[in-house]
Chains A and B, each alone.
Chain A
């Protein structure tokens, strides 16, 4: 059997044990340390918020980030639904099945060994196995990227308060872009304070129904400061954020300018008869952690 690896270049090989350790570490780290871009997002809101109550709420949120780091405690009690995004570069050799099992074992170990609240139950019996795992959970998304000899494992504990603020509508072409904009504004209003604002509103436009919602999740969990690769989508991000923040929902739904850190948009081509739009929301505890494996070793970041 011939391995399809580049001649003369040793492929990156990653043992399942390394993935398991990383998965465990990332779940716990994500729950405790907020990414730098989100901290910077708070600084921006504090500098611009004009409402007094909103200012005091933002101050408490910023204080909490410090308390979590000093006491090495979780930022939020919601350990969420564990999501792992795996990006596999070229010239990487691994056993895909073993990788999935390793992520699951790492998640279970984080839950038992820290310990963490298992927030995951069977959808019909509501039985909690106290492992943060169940059928199709952790959610594992696998993609392939062009980069040489790199594997990136990104972890997102997705909180339920914001995940319950998910909306999908299969609009039709006659609804136009106006229908999409109206849907986003109404979704922000329906979500109100329930989704723990200030939020990152993720908007999926196009694709199929499931792809559209997936795009919304990708958008909601993207770092602050990143922009949609599509020019039209990027322009919408700016105008939608302006409109959403003009509503006055504010932090925790108690009024103010700081409803959303940002609105992020992701797009996919769609059918001539379709115009789907989806909203997925990330709360202010916009937690992420990642591990990057290269021939030089593993580096941990956001």
Chain B
């Protein structure tokens, strides 16, 4: 169970080194993305001016405050509270996000499913689990909102955050077919009959 520090953007080789159960701390840059962002990018054909190749995206829609544009907040936004949403709803966007935009890391909560697992293996990607509902803590890892695109979708815009020591995050799905979520789900399935038996149900 190694710990890795990754400076963004990263390479496929960096990603292939990661195994489920490892921990990762990210540095420098992180992009925020969500349901509406990806619906507009992949279903409505919209493009972003950001170069996402080798980067990490986090499933989020932040609480922000509008401020005057200045050196530390070029976006005109200041972070109030930035956390993470449930990833499962965005399952079908994993492959296009990787193929078209070159994203290598998805950060979220609750996990992704088989088609994402396959995309991670085929293209060299990884899912890092953050702990949902711990946004106050997560916000302290974000230094600034540097830029924003597709902002008509606010709060589901495409955000660029400057980060420092973002993590530790748990490698929950790796590029070698491993998934902690799938492992747990199998165990849970195996325990269903026993759970029902405790309730006197056969």
Contacts and interface: CB of A to CB of B under 8 A. Distances in A.
Contact of B196 (A161, A194, A243): A243
A53 B133 CA distance: 17
A115 B62 CA distance: 11
Interface string A132-175: 00000000000000000000000000011100100000000000
A181 B135 CA distance: 34
A-B interface, 10 closest residue pairs, ranked by CB to CB distance from nearest? A77-B83, A68-B136, A64-B134, A74-B81, A285-B133, A194-B110, A117-B63, A77-B135, A193-B110, A161-B86
A103 interface: no
B18 to A, nearest CB: 16
Contact of B155 (A118, A242, A283): A118
Contacts of B63: 74, 77, 79, 115-117
B60 interface: yes
Given A161-B85, A182-B201, A243-B196, A248 B184 contact: yes
Interface string A106-140: 00000000111111000000101010000000000
A53 B109 CA distance: 15
Contacts of B192: 185, 189, 247
A263 B124 CA distance: 41
A195 B194 CA distance: 23
A67 interface: yes
Nearest to A77: B83
Contacts, number: 173
Chain A interface secondary structure, helix, strand, loop or mixed? loop
Nearest to A116: B63
B198 A252 contact: no
A254 B61 contact: no
Contacts of B61: 77, 117, 119
Interface of B: 36, 60-66, 80-86, 88-89, 109-111, 129, 131-137, 139-140, 154-155, 170, 172, 180-181, 183-185, 187-189, 191-192, 194-196, 198-201
28 contacts: A53-B170, A64-B133, A64-B135, A73-B80, A76-B132, A77-B63, A77-B81, A77-B83, A77-B84, A115-B64, A119-B61, A160-B85, A161-B110, A164-B89, A185-B195, A192-B110, A192-B181, A192-B185, A193-B109, A193-B110, A196-B86, A196-B110, A196-B133, A239-B198, A248-B184, A254-B172, A255-B180, A255-B183
A61 B61 CA distance: 20
B202 to A, nearest CB: 8
Residue from B110, B133, B170 whose CB has the most chain A CB atoms within 10 Å: B133
Chain B interface secondary structure, helix, strand, loop or mixed? mixed
Residue from B82, B84, B201 whose CB has the most chain A CB atoms within 10 Å: B201
A255 B184 contact: yes
Nearest to A161: B86
A284 interface: yes
A73 B81 contact: yes
B131 A57 contact: yes
Contact of B132 (A196, A242, A249): A196
A247 B188 contact: yes
B163 to A, nearest CB: 15
A107 B189 CA distance: 42
